[in-house]
Structure 1
């Protein structure tokens, strides 16, 4: 048996089985575009909590949080404590994703454009992302591809079957301009509509949408 390096094996698989693979994309994809990662947002949210106690200069914010609340920092839990409604959570996250006044708009990175080229070449058709931003969609459109975006249950209900789309972007945590973004407790299980993507006859792709079991 030939023991190929994982990268070479993946490259061959993409070449010989175009459109079969799905890509799972996390927050690091947009980091170089100026959008902070989930952990970086968490640290800043902790600073906001500290400011309520009059603190501005703490060397170890996660340690301070643990000592005050008796638990490790959790991104969604902290966000939920600062914003009581989905609309308020959306506004907080939008402040991290949109460029500040006077700054240039966030632009897709080389990684976004590389993924778009894979889609344009027909190698990948399904992109699953935990990101709230729209840089991936922007890169796809620059490559001449209008993706079908699934970011909530309504989109699932009206979606075209995966096999009949050139590209489907599944945003499992929602979109930052949609007030229906989810918190961690709400994501203990994905909605029935989202989970049905893996079993509905209309969606024939090798995807498992149960939390922690992506294929």
Structure 2
């Protein structure tokens, strides 16, 4: 991230600012970075908050003053969903096409196109996904989030879990998607209940 003239590089287990390893928390040139038990948080005085769980979730919040002034993978921040972000020349882009459209090659490496195998053969897994996402633990989330897109991601997770070698589906494969659903629900103002069970995501019982 390039913030306030500084370059902040995040990787699991380390934060590097302008080429030097930083010990958190750190405050420098209008940028404050701290680590909590579950996230690394970056606050910039220019009006930005970024939160990373050091795994698969990266959240960016911008001050309202940037409304309609952004571009890129996160959208144009114009308050109108789908208008510009997911359309190109009047045609709606698939999630994969959208991701590939915005990918950027680095100076010494290039990103390969991301492809996803068909999940049509896995449609029998849809009821399980719907059962979890529309369950009572998420009753405050149902009007806040697009359950259809999360259901599709859930089916894809189950479908490709263990490269298809598992004859029996492993609920552990759903943890990332359901965790993200829960995170986004909280962010949208919902209050999910505890959704982890002894059968779903390692909530061990003794």
Q: Name the structure with the higher helix share.
A: 1
TM-score of the aligned structures, taking structure 2 as reference length: 0.29
TM-score of the aligned structures, taking structure 1 as reference length: 0.29
Q: Name the structure with the higher strand share.
A: 2
Higher relative contact order (CA 8 A, sep 6+): 1
